[in-house]
Structure 1
Amino acid sequence: MVTLDRLVLLSTALFATAALLVLISISRPQWILSVNKGETSMGLIEMCILSSLTAHEQKCFIPNKVRLVWIIAFGLSIVAIGLLIVTIILFVISQYGQTSTIVYGRLAGFIAMIFLCLSAVLFPMGFDSEIIGGSPFQLPTDYRIGSSYIAFICGAWLTVISIEEMTVNLETTRRTLPAPMLDRSSYSIFSVIKQAIGKDLTRFSIPVIWNEPLSFLQRVAECLEYSMLLDQAVVADTIVERFHLITAFVISTLSAHLERMSKPFNPLLGETYELNMKGNAQFHYVAEQVCHHPPVTAVHVNGQNWTLSANIEPKIKFHGTNVVAVSEGRWVFRIKKNSSLSRSSSQESFQSCNDEEEQSDNEIKDEYTWKTPTVIVHNVLFGRLWCEFQGQVDIKHLQSKQRSLVTIKPHSWFASQSTKTAELFKYTGFIYDGKEKLGAYHGNYGHCYYAIDNIDEFQLKPSISCSANGHNCVHLNSTALVSTPCDHLILPSSRLIWNRSLSLMTDNELVSMYQYYFFTPFATSLNEQTDSLKLPPTDSRFRKDIYYLEKGDIDAASQEKHRLEEQQRADAKKSEREFEPLWFKKDDNDEYIYTGKYEQRKFDHCPKLFSQSPDR
Structure 2
Amino acid sequence: MGIVPRVRQMIQPLSDCCLPDDSGDDDEETASPADKSELHNTIKSLSLKLDDLSTCNDLIAKHGAALQRSLNELDGLRIPYESSEKLKAVNERATLFRITSNAMINACRDFLELAETHSRKWQRALQYEQEQRVHLEETIEQLAKQHNSLERAFRSAPGRAANPTKSFSEGSFLTSKGEDSEEDEDTEYFDAMEDSTSFITVITEAKEDRKAEGGTTGPVDWTSSENVLDGASLVPKEPPKVKRRTCIPDKPNYSLNLWSIMKNCIGRELSKIPMPVNFNEPLSMLQRLTEDLEYHHLLDKAVHCTSSVEQMCLVAAFSVSSYSTTVHRIAKPFNPMLGETFELDRLDEMGLRSLCEQVSHHPPAAAHYVFSKNGWSLWQEITISSKFRGKYLSIMPLGAIHLEFQASGNHYVWRKSTSTVHNIIVGKLWIDQTGDIEIVNHKTKDRCQLKFLPYSYFSKEVARKVTGVVSDGQGKAHYVLSGSWDEQMECAKIVQSSPSSPSLDGKQKTVYQTLPAKLLWKKYPLPENAENMYYFSELALTLNEHEEGVAPTDSRLRPDQRLMEKGHWDEANTEKQRLEEKQRVSRRRRLEACSRGCGSEDAEKEADTYMPLWFEKRLDPLTGEMACVYKGGYWEAKEKQEWHMCPNIF
Question: TM-score by structure 1 length?
Answer: 0.58
- 1:442 corresponds to 2:482: yes
Work out which of the residue numbers 619, 622, 626 in structure 2 matches 1:590.
626
Aligned 8 A contact 2:495 2:514 in 1:
no
Alignment correspondent of 2:560 = 545
Structure 1 CA distance for aligned equivalents of residues 245 and 349 of structure 2: 19
- 1:403 corresponds to 2:447: yes
Q: Secondary structure at the match of 1:440?
A: strand
- 1:528 corresponds to 2:545: yes
CA shift digits 1:82-135 (9 cap, x unpaired): xxxxxxxxxxxxxxxxxxxxxxxxxxxxxxxxxxxxxxxxxxxxxxxxxxxxxx
Q: Secondary structure at the match of 2:581?
A: helix
Shift in Å, 1:306: 1.0
Alignment correspondent of 1:428 = 467
- 1:299 corresponds to 2:338: no
- 1:322 corresponds to 2:398: no
Structure 1 CA distance for aligned equivalents of residues 308 and 387 of structure 2: 38
Aligned 8 A contact 2:285 2:334 in 1:
yes
Alignment correspondent of 2:417 = 373
Structure 2 CA distance for aligned equivalents of residues 457 and 377 of structure 1: 38
Q: Secondary structure at the match of 2:432?
A: strand
Q: Secondary structure at the match of 1:333?
A: strand
Aligned 8 A contact 2:493 2:517 in 1:
yes
Shift in Å, 1:492: 6.3
Shift in Å, 1:214: 0.5
Structure 1 CA distance for aligned equivalents of residues 452 and 498 of structure 2: 16
Q: Identify if the C-alpha distance between structure 1 residues 438 and 491 changes in structure 2 by more than 3 Å, giving closer, same or farther.
A: closer
Shift in Å, 1:299: 0.5
Q: Pairwise mapping of residues 74-89 of structure 1 onto structure 2 (< 5 A)?
A: none
Shifted more, 566-575 versus 274-283: the winner is 274-283
Aligned 8 A contact 2:478 2:493 in 1:
no
Q: Secondary structure at the match of 2:322?
A: helix
Alignment correspondent of 1:172 = 243
Higher helix share goes to which structure? Answer: 2
CA shift digits 1:129-187 (9 cap, x unpaired): xxxxxxxxxxxxxxxxxxxxxxxxxxxxxxxxxxxxxxxxx94110100x211224x31
Aligned 8 A contact 1:440 1:455 in 2:
no
Aligned length: 371
- 1:278 corresponds to 2:347: yes
Letter in 2 for 1:307: S
Alignment correspondent of 2:580 = 565
- 1:493 corresponds to 2:537: no
Shift in Å, 1:502: 2.9
5+ residue gaps, structure 1, are: 1-169, 341-364, 461-489, 611-616
Please tell me the root mean square deviation across aligned C-alpha atoms, in Å. Answer: 2.0
Shift in Å, 1:240: 1.9
Q: Secondary structure at the match of 1:286?
A: strand
Letter in 1 for 2:452: I
Q: Identify if the C-alpha distance between structure 1 residues 183 and 332 changes in structure 2 by more than 3 Å, giving closer, same or farther.
A: same
Aligned 8 A contact 1:454 1:493 in 2:
no
Q: Pairwise mapping of residues 50-89 of structure 1 onto structure 2 (< 5 A)?
A: none
CA shift digits 1:416-443 (9 cap, x unpaired): 5xx2xx3311111000123211211100
Aligned 8 A contact 2:481 2:491 in 1:
yes
Q: Identify if the C-alpha distance between structure 1 residues 491 and 212 changes in structure 2 by more than 3 Å, giving closer, same or farther.
A: farther
Letter in 2 for 1:217: L
Shift in Å, 1:607: 1.6
Alignment correspondent of 2:319 = 250
Aligned 8 A contact 2:366 2:381 in 1:
yes
Letter in 2 for 1:208: V
Shift in Å, 1:260: 0.1
Alignment correspondent of 1:502 = 525
5+ residue gaps, structure 2, are: 1-240, 501-512, 595-608, 620-624
Q: Identify if the C-alpha distance between structure 1 residues 530 and 455 changes in structure 2 by more than 3 Å, giving closer, same or farther.
A: farther
Identity %, equivalent residues: 33
Shifted more, 490-499 versus 427-436: the winner is 490-499
Of structures 1 and 2, the one with the larger relative CO (CA 8 A, separation 6+) is: 2
Shift in Å, 1:189: 1.7
State which structure, 1 or 2, has the greater radius of gyration over its C-alpha atoms: 2
Shift in Å, 1:514: 0.8
Letter in 2 for 1:263: K
Shift in Å, 1:513: 1.1
Shift in Å, 1:280: 5.6
- 1:182 corresponds to 2:197: no
Alignment correspondent of 1:238 = 307
Structure 1 CA distance for aligned equivalents of residues 495 and 413 of structure 2: 24
